[in-house]
């Protein structure tokens, strides 16, 4: 039994796209599962501030300043970090 070139081409593309669609659904499902587990693990904190600058140490601010100075070529004395926000 001999298959035509068009049939083989369409069958190959169908298998590839079917596999990609399955991967999309699997990653979406695993993402939902991880988010549900993360929400269960996080306990609500009362009275906690949203500003990360209060919890950042001076060493961290100095390290961030040094990296910015190195990458941009600006002198370290010209850099001023006014606040930090955790993303």
Q: What pTM did the predictor assign?
A: 0.43
CB 54 within 8 A of CB 31: no
pLDDT of 80 reads 84
Instruction: Name which of 54, 79, 82, 84 is nearest 66 in CA terms.
Output: 79
- Identify whether the C-beta of residue 32 lies closer than 8 Å to the C-beta of residue 66: no
Chain segment 60-86, per-residue pLDDT in tens: 888 888 898 999 988 888 888 888 877
Distances (CA, A) of 63 to 1, 8, 76, 77: 69, 58, 11, 14
- Residue 87's pLDDT band (boundaries 50, 70, 90)? confident
Task: Give the contacts of 51 (CB within 8 A, at least 6 positions apart).
Answer: 83, 85
Which helix (H) or strand (E) covers residue 35, if one does? helix 5-41
Q: What is the pLDDT of residues 9-55, one digit of tens each?
A: 999 999 999 999 999 999 999 999 998 888 877 655 544 444 444 56
Q: What six digits make up the tokens of 16?
A: 């590839």
């Amino acid at each position: 039994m001999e298959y035509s070139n068009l049939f083989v081409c369409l069958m190959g593309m169908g298998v590839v796209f079917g596999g990609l669609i399955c991967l999309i659904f699997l990653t979406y499902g695993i993402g939902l599962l991880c988010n549900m587990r993360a929400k269960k693990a996080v306990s609500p904190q009362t009275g906690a501030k949203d500003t990360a600058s209060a919890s950042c140490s001076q060493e961290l601010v100095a390290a961030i300043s040094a990296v910015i100075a190195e990458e941009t070529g600006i002198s370290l004395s010209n850099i001023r970090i006014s606040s930090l926000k955790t993303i």
